[in-house]
A and B are shown apart, each in its own frame.
Chain A
Amino acid sequence: MTQQEVPPGLIGARVRRKEDPRLLTGRAQFVDDVVLPGMLEAAVLRSPHPHARILSIDVSAALELPGVFAVLTGEDVRAACATPQPVVWRMIPDQRMTDQYALAVDKVRYVGQAVAVVAAVDRYVAEDALGLVEVEYEVLQPVVTLDDALAEGAPLLYEEWPDNVSCRQTIPKGDAAAAFAEADVVVTETLSYGRQMGTPLETRGAVMSWDPFTDQLEGWMSTQSPNLTRDLLGEVLGLPVDHIRVRTPHVGGGFGNKFDFYGEEVLAALLSKRTGRPVKVIEDRLESFVANAHSREQRIEVSVAAKSDGTIIGMRGTVWAVLGGQLATVGIGPCWLSMALMAGPYDIPNVEATVVGVVTNRSPYGSYRGWGQPKANFAHERIIDKLAHELGMPPNEVRRRNLIASDKFPYPSQVFFYDSGNYAECLDMAEQAVADRGWAKRRDAAAEEGRSLGIGYSFHIEISALGPSKIMNQAGLQHSSFDEEVVRIDSAGGVTVRTGLSAMGQGIETALAQVAAQTLGVPLDTVKVLHGDTETNPFTGYGTGASRGAALGGGALLRASTRLRDKVLRIAAHILEASAEDLEITDGVVTVKGTPGGPSVTMRQIGDAAYRRLDGKLPDGEDPTLEERDVLDPDNVAFSYGTTAVLAEVDRETGRVELLDYLLAHDCGTVINPMIVDGQIHGGATQGIGGALFEEIVYSPEGQPLTTTFMDYLIPTASEIPTFETLHMATTADHIPGGFKGMGEAGTIGAASAITAAIENAVPDLDLRLNRLPVTPPRLLDALTTATPKDPS
């Protein structure tokens, strides 16, 4: 393993994004902007019942409506598909799988499950036709909550199962029983994390065009994982992958919701095959709230065993995953990760954590930025706070006593090897910043005015740079997790990078261009990054998620560009009659080091020598063209980390919480573009704030979703969000070229833990323990009313 040092330059520079002029002028193409000749539009009929048997479906009236071209039902889909909808994360070998198709067959198991689909001349007519499809249901008793599902004699979602439990797994480290037996103090907490989702502002959609004469399928999809999507389309539709082309225009936000592989893409493909025309399906927002993967909801039981000085010697926990009516693409994945990372950044020798996956009549559970980590964080940070309270110690002293020391890396956790970090320094940095900004004084001064301000902290870790493929396969992933990048210099010296990653707002075009430009020594505006087409771009394993893009894409591109630079220098050395070791490239011009104004050769001349006028310029034995590819399948994942500090004000009359200040000290190794990193942290933290205070998918006792508009599901607006401050340190990932670590999910992970701690800190006169998210005003008001006053002594 080598220390990764990148000299200052474009890597680390706050440059403007290359993608922005398109996006700012309305010229960027999103999937709903794709229009093909003869294209039809589809609409999906969805179940109004949480749990029902389908007795019959009559589509005849819908088919007769002028403008309708085709209607499909579940039986049509099952007959046309080679496999059910795939589940790629299979960590638990004996898990009961749900094996469902893109349209329900026999039974529906959540409100919003697709039952039939219509292709018509446009969406208006397709929706008219939905009203003409007659479905007869036998309504069954719904299983709405976790407790409903686990109750003795509960109705079964899958009648062939003995109960509603899909899977259960315990992963131990050390001897937790012995640790709990010898502890001075044991604290226990039961936490509830609300059901939430990513809600990218662009809903999901696809345009599929199936050529019935050649069985070539061309698709435009708003997806984070184009290569995975192509492979899964191939499996489900029984097509060779070389028959499938997935194009990904600009993605209007992903947040994990667009990582997963959904049935609507399959439906559009089958409708196109049936009609011989391209078919577009774009979900509306109401559909999105029931048809996109839900996330986050868990009940977590957690306890720690500690010595009286605050040293934690053991941890136990159980994650109850409130899965939906069927498994989504990532299966138990996110909830399994909550279990696997429950000890977080702490050096706990004995851990026993369990995950139990339980099916309910709710929408399927899938990916959302942070994956299992916000819940794991809530578990370890809430229990740290409770332990500190029990011991009468400041929470950060308990943290400091237990954070993994910098000399203990690589650190073997329950499941993963944490690669590197300097956790204590990060906590110190945040505490110092809070002191410098006088938060405690503000809190105390406000208290004298009768206001309730509080300061809360959390420490988070973030798994990033997801790989290595073979280990992930052993863990149950039915796909790879490497990244491939291609870089080419053309005949005029311009640089083109090809990537399999999707552009979904994270600035991947700019970040990759910075890596290539710095490594090759060319101006940033001579580098173009192409993405969004599986036919012409390289293969990215997994997808654009798990905070992989900058780390693995950047690392692979750095290696490819380094080799390409070597070739440029060999050609330049030949032209300049110099030794390649004596040359340098600056702003696209190769010169002999230390001879400004001396002989030089431009990148344009190098391109000409490699493609067009080779004679006398391209050295013998050197192949024409200038292209390199590289595949990075890392030896390990890379862990980023950070400390969140929040200054919050609680309105004790209304239960409303206002965030006055928000600070994040963060380490993601080598930073490619600090402006993009800050933007990712702000956006992630905003989603974390939403999850802590506002956002919840609520179901009625009858199993009806009550929050299917932006009037009911409350996404934070500019008025609720504070100004953020970010502080950075850089502990490089020495197993990743460039030392990059990912950071796309950072802000989401520790937000709720810090905010709940700040709320409790704001009411020091009450013994308030918050254990349920989101902390909405009614919930907080109730908690404030029922909390026991602290003994003033």
Chain B
Amino acid sequence: MSTPTRTGTTVSMTVNGEQVDRHVDPRRTLSDFLRRDCGATGVHLGCEHGVCGACTVLLDGRTARSCCTLAVQAEGADITTVEGMADGAELHPLQEAFWKHHGLQCGFCTPGILLTVQELLADNPDPSDAEIREGISGNICRCTGYQFIVDAVREAAAVLREEKTAEVE
């Protein structure tokens, strides 16, 4: 349900490859916009003050806290949420690695962590364990103790490097 006001404005953006045009209230957060107006309920709200990282999305390829971003600020942007990661019914190698290594328990923080790691690996395809820990230190996971997340990221990085090499060849 979108807030009924007379002060609304129209925003246009791409969400997981689909063009979206909606009339929204200026105060509507990007997270509410994605969850409620675009059906991307994989965007999770853990703190709504920009610390926990559960609401992380990719905005023009860089991570953004959608809880602290207004929908109108994303005008013209290309947004990726966790729903945009898998290729059809095939899990992304990162998702696959998290599954194999038990890198999630309740799964609430997982969408934000997956997208954060996607950016991390784009910047640094072969991170050390310390760099992985540093890279996800802006995301709170209250369940796992992080170790199996680190294991998953390490393996996913290797898989993605191989894929890239294969593409080049």
Contacts and interface: CB of A to CB of B under 8 A. Distances in A.
B133 A682 contact: no
Contact of B104 (A24, A286, A723): A24
A565 B41 CA distance: 41
B91 A25 contact: yes
B44 A252 contact: yes
B107 A715 contact: no
Interface in B115-142: 129, 132-134, 136-142
A448 to B, nearest CB: 25
Contacts of A19: 107
A340 interface: no
Interface string A269-299: 0000000000000001110000000000000
A709 B51 contact: yes
Interface residues of A, number: 63
Interface in B63-85: 81-83, 85
Contact of B142 (A67, A122, A200, A250): A200
B160 to A, nearest CB: 16
A121 B129 CA distance: 47
A167 B67 CA distance: 44
A750 B28 CA distance: 45
B146 A30 contact: no
Contacts, number: 183
A787 interface: no
B15 interface: no
Interface string A650-692: 0000000000000000000000000110110011111100000
A199 interface: yes
Interface in A7-56: 16-17, 19-30, 32-33, 35, 39
Interface in B1-56: 1, 3-4, 25, 27-28, 35-36, 40-49, 51-52, 54
A683 B100 contact: no
A285 B49 contact: yes
Contacts of A724: 145, 147
Contacts of A709: 47, 49, 51
A201 interface: yes
Most chain A CB atoms below 10 A, which of B42, B43, B134: B42
A30 B99 contact: no
Contacts of B106: 23, 200-202, 250-254, 504-505
B105 A21 contact: no
Contact of B143 (A124, A675, A678, A683): A683
B57 to A, nearest CB: 11
B107 A24 contact: yes
Nearest to A721: B146
B108 to A, nearest CB: 3
A715 B149 contact: no
B108 A202 contact: yes
Contacts of A506: 105
Give chain B's interface secondary structure class.
loop
Contact of B41 (A26, A285, A678): A26
Given A285-B48, A710-B52, A715-B140, A686 B146 contact: yes
A595 interface: no
Interface string A564-575: 000000000000
B82 A25 contact: yes
A685 B145 contact: yes
Given A26-B42, A505-B107, A715-B140, A16 B100 contact: yes
B145 A719 contact: no
Interface of B: 1, 3-4, 25, 27-28, 35-36, 40-49, 51-52, 54, 81-83, 85-86, 91, 95, 98-100, 102, 104-111, 114, 129, 132-134, 136-150
24 contacts: A20-B98, A20-B99, A23-B106, A23-B107, A24-B114, A25-B83, A26-B82, A26-B111, A33-B41, A121-B4, A122-B3, A201-B109, A201-B142, A252-B44, A284-B48, A504-B106, A505-B105, A505-B108, A717-B139, A718-B132, A718-B146, A718-B149, A718-B150, A721-B146
Interface of A: 16-17, 19-30, 32-33, 35, 39, 67, 121-122, 124-125, 198-203, 250-255, 284-286, 504-507, 675-676, 678-679, 682-687, 709-711, 715, 717-719, 721, 723-724, 747
Given A25-B83, A683-B142, 8 more contacts: A23-B106, A199-B142, A202-B108, A285-B52, A676-B102, A682-B145, A710-B140, A747-B145
